[in-house]
Amino acid sequence: MSDGAGFSAAVVEGGKLFMWGNGGSGALGAADSSTEDQSTPGLVELGGATVASVACGGKHSAAVTDDGKVYTWGSGFCGQLGHGNAESKAAPTLVEALASVSMKMVSCGETHNVALAADGGVYVWGLDVEGQLGLGASGHKALPTKVGGPLAEQQTVAVACGIGPGGPGHSAAITRDGKLYTWGMGRDGQLGHGDTEPRLEPTPVAALADKTVVAVSCGATHTAALTDEGRVYTWGGGVSGQLGHGDKLQQVCTSLYPPHNTPTPRPTPGSCGADRRGGGLCSWSPRWWAVFWSTRRWWPCPAAGFTLLCC
């Protein structure tokens, strides 16, 4: 399953895709090319292909079929459909630029995408305002482009994008050795590098260097990661309590159950800083779901008192 900005999608047994919700810009991939809202799940046709996974973005969607092909549809205003132009598509359309590459998964941000190939390569396309494509200062890409830099010599096993209300967004990737990389917008500390600066290329999250990360999820202004020890770390914006640290006070934390009476005016190295900005919700997929609540933190911090379910 995946949720976008006002619409949802689910892949059911047999690889059939259903979508419902806000149909603006053709994000639901309706068979009649309708852009009307849909209050009940409707079948999305991909030319008879079997869908393996789906991702929803701001006003667009993407799916990976069981034979490794990527289809996109919805708004293409920022090149986020990957067809080499800014045209929107009301029906799922094959991303020709990736037709010769076997793809494993795709994640949709507000106006950009990050996709993972079966060989561990990472491809990106769409809007690039604060480095969310991870290609340096190369600008927007209307066609999928392989990410180089620190990930060039790494085999990536998972990727994620943040969906923000009109914001540039951020991205994340996990390598085979369990290291987490983040890049893009960092104004709420959602990159986990101890500051609020953007990163134009994938940058390792040093605060988790001694951990093995197995899953990551990006919200609008915050990020959450799960380690092989079963612990959840959260950081970034937390005005709605989405970080799971039990309060909304400005504070730092250096242990699993941090004291909540340690005031600090700014983040300190090796700790988690917080203030009262941010918003959003993270969820785990396909087997983990986590609900978080609390402040803004610039360094990853174990979330105390969270609820974590394995299904």
3-class secondary structure per residue, the chain: CEECCCEEEEEECCCEEEEEECCHHHCCCCCCCCCCCEEEEEEECCCCCCEEEEEECCCEEEEEECCCCEEEEECCCCCCCCCCCCCCEEEEEECHHHCCCCEEEEEECCCEEEEEECCCCEEEEECCCCCCCCCCCCCCEEEEEECCHHHCCCCEEEEEECCCCCCCCEEEEEECCCCEEEEECCCCCCCCCCCCCCEEEEEECHHHCCCCEEEEEECCCEEEEEECCCCEEEEECCCCCCCCCCCCCCCCCCCCCCCCCCCCCCCCCCCCCCCCCCCCCCCCCCCEEEECCCCCEEEEEECCCCEEEEC
Does some domain include residue 268?
Answer: no
Contact residues for 17 (Cβ-Cβ < 8 A; gap 6+): 9, 10, 11, 29, 43, 44, 46, 51, 54, 63
Does some domain include residue 299?
Answer: no
Does some domain include residue 255?
Answer: no
Tens of each residue's pLDDT in the chain, 311 residues: 999 889 999 999 999 999 999 988 899 998 787 889 999 999 999 989 999 999 999 999 999 999 999 999 999 999 999 999 999 999 999 999 999 999 999 999 999 999 999 999 999 999 998 999 999 987 899 999 999 999 998 899 999 998 866 568 999 999 999 999 999 998 888 899 988 899 999 999 999 999 999 999 999 888 999 999 999 999 988 888 888 887 553 222 222 223 232 222 222 222 222 232 333 333 333 322 233 333 445 556 565 443 332 22
Report the pLDDT value the prediction gives residue 173, as an integer from 0 to 100.
Answer: 98
Does some domain include residue 42?
Answer: yes
Cβ-contact 180, 209 below 8 angstroms: no
Does some domain include residue 142?
Answer: yes
CA 194/CA 79 separation, integer angstroms: 31
Domain limits for position 152:
2-234
Report the pLDDT value the prediction gives residue 158, as an integer from 0 to 100.
Answer: 98
Report the Cα–Cα distance between both ends of the chain, in Å, rounded. 14
Does some domain include residue 278?
Answer: no
CATH of the domain at 66: 2.130.10.30
Does some domain include residue 190?
Answer: yes
Does some domain include residue 131?
Answer: yes
Domain count, the chain: 1
